Amino acid sequence: QVIPRQTCSLFTHTMVLDMYPGGKEVLLESIDGGSLFQSFLYNQVNVFMTHQSNYGNDRLGLFTFDRAMKFLYKWTNLRLVYEPPEVLGKRYFNLYPEEVEPVWSNPCLNRRHLEIWSEEKNCSSFPKFVVVGPQKTGTTALYWFLNMHPHVKSNLPSPTTFEEVQFFSGPNYFKGIDWYMSFFPTPENNTVLFEKSATYFDQKVVPKRLKTLLPSKHIVVILIDPALRAYSWYQSWKYLTKYYEEANLKLFKLLERLKKPIPEWLKKKSKKFCSLRSKSLSLFYGV
Ligand X SMILES: Nc1ncnc2c1ncn2[C@@H]1O[C@H](COP(=O)(O)OS(=O)(=O)O)[C@@H](OP(=O)(O)O)[C@H]1O
- Chain positions 37 to 66 lying near ligand X, rule: CB under 6 A, are none
Question: Beta strand pairing status for 129-133 and 192-196?
Answer: parallel
Angle (deg, nearest 10), helices 60-75 and 24-31: 40
Say whether residue 137 binds ligand X (CB under 6 A). Answer: yes
Say whether residue 140 binds ligand X (CB under 6 A). Answer: yes
Q: How far is the CB of 255 from ligand X (least distance, A)?
A: 30
- Which residues are catalytically annotated? 136
Q: How far apart are CA 145 and CA 139, in angstroms?
A: 10
Say whether residue 235 binds ligand X (CB under 6 A). Answer: yes
Say whether residue 34 binds ligand X (CB under 6 A). Answer: no
Say whether residue 136 binds ligand X (CB under 6 A). Answer: yes
Say whether residue 76 binds ligand X (CB under 6 A). Answer: no
- Chain positions 116 to 135 lying near ligand X, rule: CB under 6 A, are 135
Q: How far is the CB of 145 from ligand X (least distance, A)?
A: 8
Q: How far is the CB of 239 from ligand X (least distance, A)?
A: 9
Say whether residue 138 binds ligand X (CB under 6 A). Answer: yes
The reply, when asked if residue 118 is annotated as ligand binding, is no
Q: Which is nearer to ligand X, 68 or 164 (CB)?
A: 164
Which of 6, 14, 139, 169 is in the footprint of ligand X by CB under 6 A? 139
DSSP secondary structure letters along 129-141: EEEEE-TTSSHHH
What is the 3-state composition of the chain as percent helix, strand, coil, each rounded to the nearest 5? 55, 5, 40
Which of 141, 156, 274, 287 is in the footprint of ligand X by CB under 6 A? 141
DSSP SS3 for 193: strand
Say whether residue 68 binds ligand X (CB under 6 A). Answer: no
Q: How far is the CB of 184 from ligand X (least distance, A)?
A: 20
Residues that contact ligand X, how many (by CB under 6 A)? 10
Say whether residue 230 binds ligand X (CB under 6 A). Answer: no
Burial of 206 (0-12, 13-18, 19+ CB in 10 A): buried
Sheet containing strand 129-133, strands side by side: 152-154, 192-196, 129-133, 218-221
Closest C-alpha among 127, 119, 140 to residue 167:
127
Q: Which residues pair with 192 in a beta bridge?
A: 152
Q: Which is nearer to ligand X, 54 or 137 (CB)?
A: 137
Q: How far apart are CA 50 and CA 60, in angstroms?
A: 11
Closest C-alpha among 193, 186, 184 to residue 158:
184
Q: How far is the CB of 174 from ligand X (least distance, A)?
A: 23
DSSP secondary structure letters along 101-163: S-----GGG-HHHHHHS-TT--GGGS-SEEEEE-TTSSHHHHHHHHHTSTTEEEPPPBTTTBT
Q: Which is nearer to ligand X, 210 or 249 (CB)?
A: 210
Which of 132, 198, 206, 210 is in the footprint of ligand X by CB under 6 A? 198
Say whether residue 6 binds ligand X (CB under 6 A). Answer: no
Q: How far apart are CA 248 and CA 254, in angstroms?
A: 10
- Residues of this chain that bind ligand X (CB under 6 A): 135-141, 198, 232, 235
Annotated binding site, which residues? 232
Annotated binding site for 3'-phosphoadenylyl sulfate, which residues? 232
